[in-house]
Amino acid sequence: MTAPAGPPVSGWRLLAALLLWAALAAVLVAATVLGARLLAPGWAARHPADLSAIQLAGAYVALLVALLLAFGGPAGLRDRLGLRFTSALDLVAALGIWFAALAVGYVATLALAPVLGQPRSNAEPLLRQSFDPLFVALVVPTICLLGPLGEELLFRGALYGWLRRRLPAPAAIPLTAAVFAAVHMLPPLLPLLFTFGLAAAWVRERTGSTLNSLAMHVTQNTFAVALTYVVLVST
């Protein structure tokens, strides 16, 4: 395996993206809360779940804006972070690898449940907040599309690209997967998240594209959301 083609991902760009994300997210979340309380206090009091969904979407929008600013706009996302189409075969193969990773991760999660705790959907606490149409219309696209896009560009794009210029793939892939799993702060799901991270980073390495790992992430989150809603509606 060779290092990804294209301009290198520098440490200062990665750091700038993280700092910009923190600043922009803080501004957007604060503006959302203050705006709702000043302009529609009654609505905000009656719809806290909708307000939280707006804040979550705002945090991911802030991440995408930060990445665009730090890495040179759409061209930077394509050239530095690998957000480009390679082939239909790569997309199909990525989905097959996702399914295999899901199966392996699920078995590992069950095996380690006595140590890490009983697994539960990380989407459930969020989705059960409300079945209000506005909440659903905001939170589902955020979880299924906006979140995966931001996370893939950050982890498999920026972080992996930076590590890969300094480490061989056998070291950069598990390290990226470990960071990805750890930042979700869900100990019972660590095996599943780590396995997904391994598969997504390997696809990024093999194809040079975060679009292929994005297809995996979108499928993963959409599957989790659909399954969670089935469980919530049936109970």
Q: Is residue 193 part of a domain?
A: yes
CA 232 to chain centre: 23
DSSP 64-121: HHHHHHHHTHHHHHHHTT------HHHHHHHHHHHHHHHHHHHHHHHHTHHHH-----
Q: Is residue 47 part of a domain?
A: no
**pTM of the predicted structure, to 2 decimals:** 0.94
117 conformational bin, left if phi > 0, alpha if psi -120 to 50, beta if neither? left
Q: Is residue 5 part of a domain?
A: no
pLDDT tens-digit map of 67-76: 999 999 999 9
- Cα gap 180→118, rounded to integer Å: 20
DSSP at 5 = S
Q: Is residue 192 part of a domain?
A: yes
DSSP 44-75: HHH-HHHHHHHHHHHHHHHHHHHHHHHHTHHH
pLDDT tens-digit map of 224-235: 999 999 988 887
Q: Is residue 112 part of a domain?
A: yes
Contact by Cβ (8 Å): 126, 57: no
Q: What is the pLDDT along the chain (235 residues), one digit of tens a residue?
A: 544 556 789 999 999 999 999 999 999 999 998 998 888 888 888 999 999 999 999 999 999 999 999 999 999 999 999 999 999 999 999 999 999 999 999 999 999 999 999 888 888 889 999 999 999 999 999 999 999 999 999 999 999 999 999 999 999 999 999 999 999 999 999 999 999 999 999 999 999 999 999 999 999 999 999 999 998 888 7
Q: What is the largest CA-CA distance in the chain?
A: 58
- Cα gap 194→206, rounded to integer Å: 18
First-to-final CA distance of the chain: 48
Domain count along the chain: 1
Domain holding 89, by residue range, is: 74-234
- Cα gap 83→92, rounded to integer Å: 17
147 conformational bin, left if phi > 0, alpha if psi -120 to 50, beta if neither? alpha
Q: Is residue 124 part of a domain?
A: yes
Contact by Cβ (8 Å): 7, 157: no
